[in-house]
């Protein structure tokens, strides 16, 4: 049951990425290229996603618990530290280098392109390494 | 100029996916978290839903194609070295900062998490700076 809902959520998410153009690195890089031929498309995707999620979360999180679990799993950390800023900076550099962030890269695996496979393999290695860096279990 | 209602519709679908995952499993729809925990190892009972979610992600472009649309998948115009380096940066960076475009950028910003808003501003700025360096300063080109 949990997996069925997760599958539907993943499917909806993937459809959103496809319609949003996020599975095209050229569109993403066009958004990040503010000094060139700027493509604002990603802004519309983000705005649609954030607005919808904000309304839904507001209604949902009034409840005591989700449908299939005992509690909501909301990250408890509130601290803005160097790990947050440094990690986000390293992520941003990688994002700008190729135009893939994790969701679109995984969804693009469907295309079986060697470029996507290489990126995803390196990203998975990065997750594995990142989890083994000192003090990462905070 | 493209029609921007389709990207906005795409964003809305992403939002609906985030709402569904929170309503049922009580989880943030953050891709780096969902997939990253699988790679680094998580409890057995915590695995299936993560695999199912990723399977859904991969099935989405195929479904669009199956009903006669364009899968929407583009190929990165990058060298193998750039792809490997970028993948590593995205993996390590999202693991250390605890989220990516979805976890911080969509779900975190939507619940007005200060951490997520800061992370989103930082990765956007660094993404913009990287593209600027490559396209307009000729770095690594």
ipTM confidence: 0.96
Task: Check CB contact under 8 Å for B60 and A107.
Answer: yes
Which residues have a Cβ under 8 Å from the Cβ of A105 and sit 6 or more positions away? Answer: A116, A119, A120, A123, B87, B90
Closest CA–CA distance from residue A64 to any residue of chain B (Å): 11
Residues in chain A within 8 Å Cβ distance of B22: 56-57, 60-61, 66, 72
Question: Which of B82, B86, B106 is nearest residue A49 as measured by Cβ atoms?
Answer: B106
**Least confident segment among A11-20, A26-35, B37-46:** B37-46
Closest CA–CA distance from residue A136 to any residue of chain B (Å): 7
Closest CA–CA distance from residue B43 to any residue of chain A (Å): 15
Residues in chain B within 8 Å Cβ distance of A101: 31, 90, 100-102
Q: Which DSSP helix (H) or strand (E) runs through B19? A: helix B5-24
Question: Which of A7, A68, A105 is nearest residue B55 as measured by Cβ atoms?
Answer: A7
Whether B139 and chain A come into contact, CB under 8 Å, resolves to: no
Task: Check CB contact under 8 Å for A115 and B71.
Answer: no
User: pLDDT by residue (tens digit) across A82-115?
Assistant: 999 999 999 999 999 999 999 999 999 999 999 9
> Does position B75 have pLDDT exceeding 80, yes or no?
yes
Rounded mean pLDDT, A5-27: 97
Single out the residue of B67, B66, B24 nearest to residue B49, CA to CA: B24
Rounded mean pLDDT, B8-29: 98
Rounded mean pLDDT, B6-12: 96
User: pLDDT by residue (tens digit) across A20-54?
Assistant: 999 999 999 999 999 999 999 999 999 999 999 99
Q: What pLDDT shows up at residue B1?
A: 46
Identify the band that residue A135 occupies on the pLDDT scale cut at 50, 70 and 90.
low
Domain ranges for chain A: 2-132
> Does position B3 have pLDDT exceeding 50, yes or no?
yes
Whether B31 and chain A come into contact, CB under 8 Å, resolves to: yes
Q: What pLDDT shows up at residue B139?
A: 86
Identify the band that residue B2 occupies on the pLDDT scale cut at 50, 70 and 90.
low
The helix, strand and coil proportions of chain B, stated in percent and rounded to the nearest 5, come to: 70, 0, 25
pLDDT over 70 percentage in chain A = 97
Helix axes A82-98, A25-32, angle to 10 degrees: 120
Task: Check CB contact under 8 Å for A40 and B131.
Answer: no
Q: What pLDDT shows up at residue A75?
A: 86
Residues in chain A within 8 Å Cβ distance of B136: 35-36
Single out the residue of B109, B105, B13 nearest to residue A102, CA to CA: B105
> Does position B88 have pLDDT exceeding 90, yes or no?
yes
């Amino acid at each position: 049951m949990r997996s069925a809902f997760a599958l539907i959520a993943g499917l909806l998410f993937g459809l959103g990425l496809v319609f949003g153009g996020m599975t095209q690195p050229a569109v993403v890089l066009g958004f990040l290229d503010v000094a060139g031929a700027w493509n604002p498309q990603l802004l519309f995707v983000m705005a649609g996603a954030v607005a919808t999620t904000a309304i839904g979360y507001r209604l949902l999180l009034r409840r005591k618990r989700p449908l299939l679990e005992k509690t909501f799993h909301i990250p408890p950390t509130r601290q803005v530290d160097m790990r947050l800023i440094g990690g986000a900076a390293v992520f941003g550099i990688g994002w700008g280098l190729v135009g893939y962030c994790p969701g679109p890269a995984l969804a693009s695996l469907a295309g079986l392109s060697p470029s996507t496979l290489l990126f995803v393999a390196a990203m998975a290695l990065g997750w594995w390494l990142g989890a083994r860096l000192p003090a990462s279990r905070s | 100029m493209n029609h921007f209602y389709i990207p906005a519709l795409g964003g809305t679908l992403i939002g609906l996916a985030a709402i569904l995952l929170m309503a049922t499993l009580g989880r943030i729809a953050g891709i780096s978290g969902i997939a990253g925990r699988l790679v680094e190892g998580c409890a057995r009972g915590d695995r299936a839903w993560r695999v199912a979610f990723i399977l859904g992600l991969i099935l989405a472009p195929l479904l669009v194609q199956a009903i006669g649309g364009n899968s929407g998948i583009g190929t990165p115009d990058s060298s193998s070295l750039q792809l490997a380096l970028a993948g590593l940066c995205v993996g390590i960076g999202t693991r250390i900062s605890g989220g990516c475009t979805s976890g911080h950028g969509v779900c975190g910003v939507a619940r007005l998490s200060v951490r997520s808003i800061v992370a989103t501003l930082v990765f956007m700025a660094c993404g913009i700076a990287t593209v600027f360096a490559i396209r307009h300063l000729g770095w690594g080109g």
